[in-house]
Amino acid sequence: MFYGGGLLGLIVLALWIYCIIDVISTDESLVRNLPKLVWLLIVIFIPTVGSVVWLVLGRPQKASFHPGSTSYRAPRRPLGPEDSPGFMSEIEGRAGQLREWEEDLKRREDDLKRREEGD
């Protein structure tokens, strides 16, 4: 027996319900390409195709996966070096190394100055 048809039907029903809730709860100023009421009618009367079309063409771009969300998905990778978790510790380590080099240079300059004055 083939049970995939029932499972596929449940998936399509879940998608349809998700899209209806998403259309209703999305702010009208963020809806793309068509008015919100038209999107709702498309999703209700053309369930499978309308739901997919809503997700691709009507839903706000970069919106998170919560229905009606106005917040954008977080980027998958750090945007800059300051977003990296180890960035500050690396900077502090480099600053310590720089201080050591400056102290060494100052000591060498003082040593050279004493030699020149001694001559």
Q: Band of the pLDDT at 63, cuts 50, 70, 90?
A: confident
- In the chain, domain spans: 1-74, 78-119
- What would the pLDDT profile of 26-59 be if each residue is shown by its tens digit? 888 888 889 989 999 999 999 889 999 998 988 8
Q: What's the chain's Rg over C-alpha atoms?
A: 31
Nearest to 60 by CA among 49, 74, 48, 70: 70
Nearest to 50 by CA among 15, 75, 26, 21: 15
- What would the pLDDT profile of 70-108 be if each residue is shown by its tens digit? 666 655 665 677 777 787 788 888 888 999 999 999 999
